[in-house]
Amino acid sequence: MPDLDLRDGRVEAVGFGVFAALHLPGLTVAALTHSVAAFLPVAVSILLWSTLAVSALRAARRGRRAPRLLVTAALTLDAGVLTLSGLTPPRPGNVTTASVGLLALCAAAALLTRVRHVPFVVLPAAVGQAVLLHAVDGDASTPRLVADVGTVVAAGVATTGVIAWLEHGRRRALREVAQAARTDALTGLLNRRGMQDACAVLDGRGLCAVIVDVDHFKGVNDRRGHDVGDAVLVVVADALRDGARPGDVLVRLGGEELAWIGRWSDARTAARDADLFRGRVAKASAEAGEPVTVSAGVAAAAPGPLDVPALLTRADAALYAAKAAGRDRVVVG
């Protein structure tokens, strides 16, 4: 069975609708046992999750998701409502209704992590509910029922919390692996794969590309060694980051060649920022003990759909023109 990907707001909305549907068995039990005291809280729970489903669907249409705090509050409120419904008054029908509802809620909470976690949450909860039902059949006192309910709910919350914590760690590790696959290990900039992913959501309006190359970089490696060459690349990457704005795409294309993709009013404005970057590199590299200069080529995206390879090709041609003109300069293509 596939895992739910709640990063998709539409899937989240469907999930909340399923949570509402999971209360229907409890509602049926309440109706069959003629327990109005149990029927009303379960009906409120169904209304709660149905409202969340509608809200999540509306948020998904705007590319958003339901706030995590709201979902957590809904889970907590639902657990409280269902628990109280089993205690007011503590009759077998009420507790049966609460048991079915809490089992559904445990399943819903498990679905927020991974589908395969559901048995590990539902089975302990089912045992706890059996204990509650036995206590009611044995005419246990209300304090005893309160203690039993508290124990079962605490155990369910603890189990779900541990699973959620483990799942959070697993997903964080996966994100780190995915990030490493998209990032250049030396400079921390995106690699070509990361650039493709970042540019996939962009359009060509006002987009420019700046391709930068460290002048005479082979000579730095030959004279001082690759460790110094790597240090120079880190200095250049840091200078590029210092001038970037939120949303800009910074890439190490390979070797000593970097790219800066972002939105400017025109190519000449991008060239002005590239020239400021050139000055930062000269200053920072001199302070680091290995002065270097950079050449840059700038190109603006053509109207229409964004063609990243074509944009980079034009910026690369401008870079070669800068090198042919004597290096340490910016040329607009």
Residue pLDDT, tens place only, 259-303:
999 999 899 999 999 999 999 999 999 998 889 999 999 999 887
Tell me if residue 167 is catalytic.
no
- Beta-carbon contacts of 329 under 8 Å, excluding residues fewer than 6 positions away, are 278, 295, 296, 322
256 pLDDT exceeds 60? yes
Higher-pLDDT residue of 182, 134: 182
Catalytic position from the list 12, 167, 176, 256: 256
Mean pLDDT value of segment 153-168: 61
Measured distance CA(256)–CA(249) in Å, rounded: 17
237 pLDDT exceeds 90? yes
Q: Mapping DSSP to helix (H, G, I), strand (E, B) and coil, where does residue 212 land?
A: strand
Instruction: Answer yes or no: pTM beyond 0.75.
Output: no
What percentage of the chain reaches a pLDDT higher than 70? 59
β 330-332/257-263 pair status: unpaired
b (16+ CB within 10 A) / e for 32-46: ebebebbbebbeebb
Mean pLDDT computed over every residue of the chain: 76
62 pLDDT exceeds 80? no
Measured distance CA(263)–CA(209) in Å, rounded: 9
Across the strands, what pairs with 262? 208
Q: Tell me what pLDDT residue 7 has.
A: 45
For residue 51, what are the CA distances in angstroms to 16, 66, 97, 177?
9, 11, 22, 37
Q: Which two tokens stand for residue 161?
A: 């919390």
